[in-house]
Amino acid sequence: MIGAPWGALRSRTGYGVGMSGRLRLGAYLVAVGDHGILLARIAAGYPRAGSWTLPGGGVEWGEHPEDALVREVYEETGFHLRDPRFLAIDSQVYEATGGHTALHTVRLLYTARVDGEPHVTEREGSVDSARWVDLAALDRTPRLDLVDTALGLAGMA
């Protein structure tokens, strides 16, 4: 498992209130089925390139999180989501280290049924591959901590 380039602060006590940094809101899909879990590989040139993560990404200004989820999942997997269901919120604060600004990520997790083989539709995006990963092979798969967090929140860890 690969974390952020910052040291994670997993406290829910309000640590960092009043600190300056960057806030990032994202929407992500937790899709687990007969084929395993649906993951997307981070492309070269992006932080943690080669690692696998959940399909999804940043919510743009003025965009509804479910619309962002549908857009991002299509770009990264080719799947058209219908009726996504809210699962949970994950909130992490990462300290500023190594030249990085402190980062607060708020990740909205959704579930939805998807079938078929994924394929990336966005050219030169942050993801270069998408596939189903067998849950038994997950320990041998380089991945972001978000994958394990999401599986835990979904009761599948």
Q: Which CATH number fits domain 23-153: 3.90.79.10, 2.60.120.10, 3.20.20.70, 3.30.930.10?
A: 3.90.79.10
Mean per-residue pLDDT for 57-62? 96
- pLDDT band, residue 13 (cuts 50/70/90): very low
Mean per-residue pLDDT for 80-107? 90
**Dihedral angle at the C-alpha atoms of 40, 84, 151, 73, nearest 10 degrees?**
10
pTM of the model: 0.86
pLDDT at 3: 45
Q: Return the domain boundaries, the chain.
A: 23-153
pLDDT at 26: 97
Give the other-Cβ count within 10 Å of 73's Cβ. Answer: 29
Closest CA to 145 of 98, 107, 112: 107
- pLDDT band, residue 15 (cuts 50/70/90): low
| pLDDT exceeds 90 at position 36 | yes
